[in-house]
Amino acid sequence: MTTGPDYDQIVVLEAVDHSRNIARRYGIEVSRDLFGVMIVRCSWGRIGSRGQSRSVSFDTPHEAGRYVRSVLRRRETAPSRIGVAYRRWELS
């Protein structure tokens, strides 16, 4: 199994505007399971709450990367949808 910077990455996005009572969190975690399949886990909800999550599996890192990029593109449209941009935190 190959490990490196492309695997076991976590990206956390937060959108906060106290004056409008907006406190959203969105997390993306990319890892490999024991069989070498790429797993992308997305979690979202209000900051401080349990929230929701969804896991999607992919056969190749390319497919997983394409999915993550599409999710991040959607999060970039937050200013027009909710009025607040997400701040990005990368953890590894």
pLDDT tens string 36-88: 899 999 999 999 999 999 999 999 999 999 999 999 999 999 999 999 999 99
Q: Which residue has the higher pLDDT, 4 or 82?
A: 82
Cα–Cα distance for residue pair 51/32, rounded to 1 Å:
23
**Residue 64, class by beta-carbon neighbours within 10 Å (0-12 exposed, 13-18 middle, 19+ buried)?**
buried
Please compute Rg for the chain using Cα positions. Answer: 14
Q: What single letter denotes the amino acid at residue 13?
A: L
Q: What is the pLDDT of residue 90?
A: 74
Band the pLDDT of 92: cuts 50, 70, 90.
low
Cα–Cα distance for residue pair 75/35, rounded to 1 Å:
30
Of 22-26, 74-78, 87-91, least confident by mean pLDDT is 87-91
**What domains sit in the chain, N to C, each tagged with a CATH number?**
9-91 (2.20.140)
Q: Where are the alpha helices (DSSP H) in the chain?
A: 61-76, 78-81
Q: What is the pLDDT of residue 91?
A: 72
